[in-house]
Amino acid sequence: MGTLNPYRPPASRLSEALSLEVGGDCWRDGKDLVVRPGCTLPGRCIKCNEPAELPMRHARFYWHHPALYLTVFLGLLLYLVLALFVRRRTPVTLGLCTRHVRRRRASLALAFGGTALGIGAIAYGMQRDAGPLWMAGAALIVASLIVGIVGSRLLVVTRIGENYTRFRGAGAEFLATLPAFYRTR
């Protein structure tokens, strides 16, 4: 019997790319990291491509369409409820080297410490009726939260689709080791 199977569905470039090297779970597309849902990235740091610290980190990422932010003008509570219902999520197992784990922990510690110091400054300023002190405390809380969010994030989700997820924030060295992503049109 011949090797032609008339009942076999046609193979697309995407399905061929899914079964290629690196376990078929992750690719690069310019500056984007493209992964399948639930994938495990190679055992290297996603920022600098050094060997990852074990055990690797299991992370869950969420995304919703950016147009949903327009509902904030109708009310913050409405936005929060809608975002909880329409968001998409994807789990990814990724690695960080020792240096980037320390940098992430330092950012989180700075955020928690600054927030605690800001709360203390607000309480002390209100008790002593010192307006500039409690306003400085509020500014310190906002700055600490920004440092914590920006400094501790691993990757930034740009889109979660049916078959793959796109991230920004992976290092160029890490992306250079991945195969190119093949688009189907």
**Alpha carbons 88 and 149: distance in angstroms, whole number:** 20
Question: Given pLDDT bands bounded at 50, 70 and 90, which one contains residue 105?
Answer: very high
Nearest to 175 by CA among 58, 23, 42, 28: 28
Residue 52: what are its φ and ψ, rounded to 5°? -80, 150
Q: What is the pLDDT of residues 134-166, one digit of tens each?
A: 889 999 999 999 999 998 888 999 999 888 899
Cα(96)–Cα(99) distance, rounded to whole angstroms?
8
Answer whether 74's CB lies under 8 Å from 42's CB: no
**Model confidence pLDDT, tens digit, residues 32-61:** 999 998 889 898 999 998 998 888 889 899
DSSP state at residue 19: T
Rounded CA-CA distance 84/64 in Å is 9
DSSP string, 79-134: HHHHHHHH-EEEEEEEE--HHHHHHHHHHHHHHHHHHHHHHHHHHHHHHTT-HHHH
Report the candidate in 58, 67, 47 with the shortest Cα–Cα distance to residue 89.
58
pTM: 0.72
Q: What is the pLDDT of residue 21?
A: 41
Query: Residue ranges of the domains in the chain?
Result: 11-96+154-185, 101-153
